[in-house]
């Protein structure tokens, strides 16, 4: 059987990785400034992470949610403590799309309403419900057409007008748009949005699947604006490569048996991976590190990258050029052996290095980028 051919693939076969370094089957070394779409938060194969997963696998790898799984409770406590959401509850699933599906469903159950407000350029996943909350026509299937979704700009007046219709269950927002090109709604906007949702009894969902887990320098990117959303969806960096996702749920939303469900969500191995990530974030002070190195990286880029704009916070960085970045991205990989990402906007280079990236590794990336800028690579 062949693989279903839906991804354009570069001809590199990584076989080993440590920290921000990957090696392919020919022994070539690569620097990872992308972490497989923001997944690698504490670095590849971190020793503490490997140890926790290995020990867990030797004891029990999986049993279903029909029994008590102590490590789930341990994870919920630790996540509450590290994130500052001790009074919220945790529902565990397996991916970002699933987290958003559950968040939207819960909001709809809670309010008895169906309309969702989402923002232009947003990305919330590719499953049926979540896909309906994105405006990318390429990934919206015909059956999604029935959903009542309103797409708006970051404009409080526009949101307010829709909320006055009285049929909205949720507003879903990425505190920093990832796939869209590292676009940040202002802190004022997020504060206004939170107030509006509160006033209309609408559930505010912060999609922190990409921007969460320390990526922005705070545990959650919305914490820069000082708001407390009703539901926060997480995945990607949560498991550092092990598929795990979840939603953090405000005490105002009540649980009942059968409301949400999953087979694999919160399995022993996923919880071991997620706990290891939180322990490393805490032990290695990765929020402070991401703030510091993110500041250094953006300051350098502002001065020397020759870009139109440097976007983002912490180690979630977008470099907006005045031309498509495809050639820069290709040359960084083939000539300098550095992985970086792209975005829906073809002129944005997306950087999502591990949170424990070193200054020497940042300097190596910058030197490569400047070398390409000196070659005036965009015109090649």
With 0-12 / 13-18 / 19 or more C-beta atoms within 10 angstroms meaning exposed / middle / buried, residue 337 is: middle
The residues of the shown chain that bind ligand PMP, judged by CB under 6 A, are 37, 95-97, 100, 123-125, 174, 178-179, 207, 209-210, 235
Minimum CB separation from ligand PMP for residue 242, in Å?
Answer: 12
CB neighbourhood size of 257 (10 A): 6
Q: Which residue number is nearest to ligand PMP in terms of Cβ?
A: 96
CB closer to ligand PMP out of 178 and 246:
178
Minimal distance, residue 167 CB to ligand PMP, in Å:
24
Tokens linked to 227: 């708001």
Nearer to ligand PMP, 90 or 97 (CB): 97
Question: In this complex, which beta carbon is closest to ligand PMP, that of residue 103 or of residue 372?
Answer: 103
Q: 168: which strand partners? A: 115
Query: What's the min distance (Å) between Cβ of 235 and ligand PMP?
Result: 5
Strand partners, 177: 183
Output 217 or 245, the one with its CB closest to ligand PMP: 245
* C-beta of residue 252 within 8 angstroms of C-beta of residue 106: no
Residue among 210 and 305 whose Cβ is closer to ligand PMP? 210
What are the residues whose beta carbons fall under 8 Å from the beta carbon of 146, sequence distance 6 or more? Answer: none
CB of 212 to ligand PMP, least distance (A): 9
Minimum gap (Å) between residue 136 Cβ and ligand PMP? 11
Element holding 51 (H helix, E strand): helix 47-59
CB-CB neighbours of 271 under 10 Å = 25
Is-contact 338 31, C-beta < 8 A? yes
Radius of gyration in angstroms for the set of CA atoms belonging to the chain, rounded to a whole number: 21
What is the three-class DSSP state of 151? strand
- For residue 1, what are the contacts with CB-CB under 8 A and spacing of at least 6? none
In the complex with ligand PMP, which residue's Cβ is closer, 83 or 100?
100
CB of 261 to ligand PMP, least distance (A): 18
Spatial contact of 17 and 39, defined as CB atoms under 8 Å apart: no
C-alpha pair distances (Å), 168 with each of 58, 125, 143, 148, 329: 47, 20, 20, 9, 41
Contact present, 238 and 213 (Cβ < 8 Å): yes
Report the alpha-carbon distance of residue 366 to residue 307 in Å, rounded.
13
Q: Find the shortest distance in angstroms from Cβ 184 to ligand PMP.
A: 13
Question: Whose Cβ is closer to ligand PMP: residue 82's or residue 173's?
Answer: 173
Nearer to ligand PMP, 52 or 350 (CB): 350
What is the Cα 377 distance to its own chain's centre? 30
Token pair, residue 248, equals: 């953090």
Q: Least CB distance from residue 285 to ligand PMP, whole Å? A: 25
Nearer to ligand PMP, 244 or 319 (CB): 244
Tell me the closest approach of the beta carbon of residue 177 to ligand PMP, in angstroms.
Answer: 7
């Amino acid at each position: 059987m062949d693989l279903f051919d839906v991804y354009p693939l570069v001809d590199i076969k990584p076989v080993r990785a440590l920290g921000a370094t990957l090696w392919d089957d020919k022994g070539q070394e690569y620097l990872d400034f992308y972490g497989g779409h923001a997944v690698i938060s504490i670095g590849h194969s971190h020793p503490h992470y490997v140890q926790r997963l290995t020990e867990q696998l030797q004891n029990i790898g999986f049993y279903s949610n029909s029994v008590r799984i102590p490590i789930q409770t341990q994870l919920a406590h630790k996540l509450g403590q590290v994130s500052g959401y001790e009074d919220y509850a945790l529902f565990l699933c397996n991916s970002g799309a699933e987290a958003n599906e559950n968040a939207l469903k819960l909001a709809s159950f809670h309010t008895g309403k169906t309309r969702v407000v989402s923002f232009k350029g947003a990305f919330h996943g590719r499953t049926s419900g979540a896909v309906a909350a994105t405006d990318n026509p390429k990934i919206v299937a015909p059956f999604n057409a029935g959903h009542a979704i309103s797409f708006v700009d970051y404009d409080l007046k526009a949101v307010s007008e829709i909320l006055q219709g009285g049929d909205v269950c949720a507003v879903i927002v990425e505190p920093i748009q990832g796939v869209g090109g590292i676009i940040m709604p202002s802190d004022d906007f997020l504060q206004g949005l939170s107030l509006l949702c509160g006033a209309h009894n609408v559930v505010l969902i912060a999609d922190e699947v990409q921007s969460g887990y320390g990526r922005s320098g705070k545990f959650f990117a919305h914490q820069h604006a000082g708001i407390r959303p009703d539901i926060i969806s997480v995945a990607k960096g949560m498991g550092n490569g092990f598929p795990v996702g979840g939603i953090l749920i405000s005490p105002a939303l009540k649980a009942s048996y059968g409301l949400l469900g999953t087979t694999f969500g919160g399995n022993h191995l996923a919880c071991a991976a997620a706990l290891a990530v939180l322990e490393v974030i805490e032990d290695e002070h990765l929020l402070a590190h991401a703030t510091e190195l993110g500041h250094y990286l953006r300051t350098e880029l502002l001065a020397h990258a020759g870009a139109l704009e440097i976007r983002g916070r912490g180690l979630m960085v977008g470099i907006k050029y005045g031309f498509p970045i495809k050639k820069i991205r290709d040359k960084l990989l083939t000539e300098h052996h550095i992985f970086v990402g792209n975005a829906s906007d073809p002129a944005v280079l997306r950087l999502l290095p591990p949170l424990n990236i070193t200054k020497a590794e940042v300097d190596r990336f910058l030197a490569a980028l400047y070398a390409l800028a000196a070659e005036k690579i965009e015109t090649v």
